[in-house]
Structure 1
């Protein structure tokens, strides 16, 4: 197992999926949700860098947990290990790669991507099917990230994700069961 995989496996239960708890040791963390568009947005890279800087980490890791083209095939997914001071272009070049078993670009085919830094103290889980990103970390980290409001991405607690989920349910309302399960798994307020 590579260092990125070890770190991601240490922070996340990669077999779990939203709305269930995807973080390991969730009692140590508080959580904030935003739009999954963070994956490719300029602000997304800024958030990853800010998390790494908060913990004085030298590397940011990512593992593609679900990829459309690999469903039912091998469980080998693309990984990223990048210096925390790298440019956004290096990160975007990784997202622009074609997956090893697909013809599509990673940022399109990667349905779920998990990020963490070399310390494993925080994590960002991006689920493109649910259109949600969930950041988990110590309260001080979340407070500093949320105050920045990079690129207009709003961070909300689990109890306020209905507006973020609405586009993926349109024209139907967001499932009450889904909202209840998110609050049960991630319910502590980050404020």
Structure 2
């Protein structure tokens, strides 16, 4: 069902998708709430982090906080049946042991030959537009969207762990910093629409700022 950590058939893909669906609203997109159980004190980072092998230890650490032995990554955009199957013949999902290393993560999502344009374009790291990452516990998760180039991380067991994870793997931002410094360039006129900002803050900001 799996090879080098990557799902290679429909049953493996559907198994990972079912697990991810317990943590995320698969059809949701920013600024709406993507986590089924809401969030508490999330952190925002760059979408590109998820496609960087050096970020793998950050994902593995989150899984291990909650007793998970595996990490599942699911590509939600482009669509499986509109893009990956007809044009690539692949199922865009990955399941890796928390004991995997950065090279194994990259083998699952990246490419191994800079001269092979097809492997480069078909890789999850390049082709994905929306990704969701979590473990069997469903108590943590990372959701990223290429447009607007941000990812949100949730599931910190306590403030001390959150602070240390942020220091070790960052930089990461609170929602207010994301709205001020990162999102404006993704909108016309470099201005975040007020309704977008209010919705993102209501879903991911400090509890005192939520409507």
TM-score, with structure 2 as normaliser = 0.74
Cα shift at 1:24: 0.3
Helix, strand or coil for the counterpart of 2:58? helix
Query: Is 2:166 aligned against 1:155?
Result: no
**For the residues of structure 1 that align with 2:160 and 2:125, how far apart are their CA atoms?**
28
Which structure is higher in helix share? 2
Cα shift at 1:156: 2.1
Q: Runs of 4 or more off by more than 6 Å in structure 1?
A: 72-76
Residues 13, 147 of structure 1: CA spacing in aligned structure 2 closer, same or farther, 3 A cutoff?
Answer: same
Cα shift at 1:30: 3.4
Which one of the candidate residues 123, 130, 151 is aligned to 2:148?
A: 130
CA RMSD in angstroms, aligned pairs only: 3.1
Cα shift at 1:106: 1.7
Helix, strand or coil for the counterpart of 1:62? strand
Partner of 1:9: 21
> Is the 2:80–2:91 Cα contact (8 Å) retained in structure 1?
no
Partner of 1:53: 64
> Is the 2:53–2:103 Cα contact (8 Å) retained in structure 1?
no
Query: Is 2:102 aligned against 1:91?
Result: no
6-15 or 75-84: bigger deviation: 75-84
Query: Is 2:76 aligned against 1:65?
Result: yes
Partner of 1:186: 204
**For the residues of structure 2 that align with 1:65 and 1:19, how far apart are their CA atoms?**
16
Helix, strand or coil for the counterpart of 1:107? helix
> Is the 2:94–2:108 Cα contact (8 Å) retained in structure 1?
yes
Query: Is 2:96 aligned against 1:78?
Result: no
**For the residues of structure 1 that align with 2:78 and 2:45, how far apart are their CA atoms?**
21
> Is the 2:62–2:156 Cα contact (8 Å) retained in structure 1?
no
Which one of the candidate residues 40, 44, 47 is aligned to 1:33?
A: 44
Aligned residue pairs total: 185
The structure with the larger Rg is 2
TM-score, with structure 1 as normaliser = 0.81
Instruction: Provide structure 2 residue ranges, at least 5 long, that are not aligned to the other structure.
Output: 1-10
Cα shift at 1:5: 1.6
**For the residues of structure 1 that align with 2:83 and 2:108, how far apart are their CA atoms?**
23
Cα shift at 1:95: 1.4
**For the residues of structure 1 that align with 2:21 and 2:35, how far apart are their CA atoms?**
9
